[in-house]
Amino acid sequence: MGKEQHIVTVKKTVQLTPTVKGMELELPEGAQLSFKSGQYLDIGLTDPKNRELEGEWSGFSITSSPLQKEYLEIAVSKRGPFTQELHETVVGSTLEIRGPEGDFVYEPSQDGEPVFIAGGIGITPIMSMLRYLCDLQFPAPATLIYSCRSFEDVIFFPELLGMDSRWEGFTAHFTLTRSSPTDWEGATRRVDQPMLEETISDPADKSYYICGPQEMMLMLTYCLRDMGVSKEQIATELW
């Protein structure tokens, strides 16, 4: 799968959280981009307002399924001058993309029932994996554990809840670490070894995909190793 470069059009935007915007990117007529779920694109601004950003590129996970051929989706979190300007991009604008890139990928042929663990914006590459498996109606059980600071930070919440009903065998677990609504029914603590042991049966028989802050990924990797999981069964991506 080679790296491609295209000028794409922003087809649609949606405010996913107060700081994260989703974007649908339309490829040129007749063009398609093949990628594996979990990969990312490098994105450049074709006409930046801030001229210091001219020629700058930044990586963004593809959140759409590889089976979605009409457009690509990304999610943009405001974290600096580049993402601030990209976040403000309006429908009809153009962007430059190149890719796909990245080795944090999931293939349905891989051994072990998948367990996906995400922290905050780390849900983005995992969302591509989940949408892909939902499209395939993946027959084996699959589990998501998703941790955010507050309910306002949870990205794709309605869709993830809907996957429970559309995809038999999929279970989503949410936990909030700083604040939660009064009617919140999920967990209210950090993902730790006790939570993993409560949520995952036969942990050594699963495969793991973890994306989030470095401290979280390192800690959970050590926890899984203590639970009998080999390092070959754990894939991580820093966000």
Q: State the Cα–Cα distance between residues 218 and 164, nearest whole angstrom.
A: 29
Is the predicted pLDDT of residue 210 greater than 60, yes or no? yes
**Paired residues of 40 in beta bridges:** 61, 101
Cβ partners under 8 Å of residue 21, min gap 6: 13, 14, 15, 75, 76, 87
User: For residue 117, what is the DSSP state?
Assistant: E
Residue 230 has a pLDDT of 95
| 79 and 182 housed in the same domain | no
Q: State the Cα–Cα distance between residues 113 and 206, nearest whole angstrom.
A: 5
| 24 and 91 housed in the same domain | yes
Model confidence pLDDT, tens digit, residues 31-62: 889 999 999 999 999 988 888 899 999 999 99
Instruction: Mark which of 67, 101, 135 sits at the end of a domain.
Output: 101
| 95 and 16 housed in the same domain | yes
Residue 191 lies in domain: 113-238
Residue 3 has a pLDDT of 80
- The average confidence (pLDDT) of the chain is 93
pLDDT range class, residue 139, cuts 50, 70, 90: confident
pLDDT range class, residue 2, cuts 50, 70, 90: low
Which range, of 21-25, 61-65, 181-185, 224-228, averages the lowest pLDDT?
Answer: 181-185
φ, ψ (nearest 5 deg) of residue 73: -120, 145
| 57 and 25 housed in the same domain | yes
| Total structural domains within the chain | 2
Give me the amino acid identity at 62: I
What CATH number is attached to the domain comprising 23?
2.40.30.10
Whether residue 108 lies inside any domain: the answer is no
Interval 141-154 mean pLDDT:
96
What CATH number is attached to the domain comprising 120?
3.40.50.80
Residue 4 has a pLDDT of 86
Residue 123 has a pLDDT of 98
Instruction: Mark which of 72, 101, 130 sits at the end of a domain.
Output: 101
Full-model pTM: 0.94
| 18 and 41 housed in the same domain | yes
Whether residue 169 lies inside any domain: the answer is yes
Q: 30: alpha, beta or left, given left = phi > 0 and alpha = psi -120 to 50?
A: left
| 120 and 84 housed in the same domain | no
Kindly state the percentage of the chain with pLDDT values over 90: 82
pLDDT range class, residue 203, cuts 50, 70, 90: very high
Whether residue 106 lies inside any domain: the answer is no
| 91 and 128 housed in the same domain | no
| 139 and 233 housed in the same domain | yes
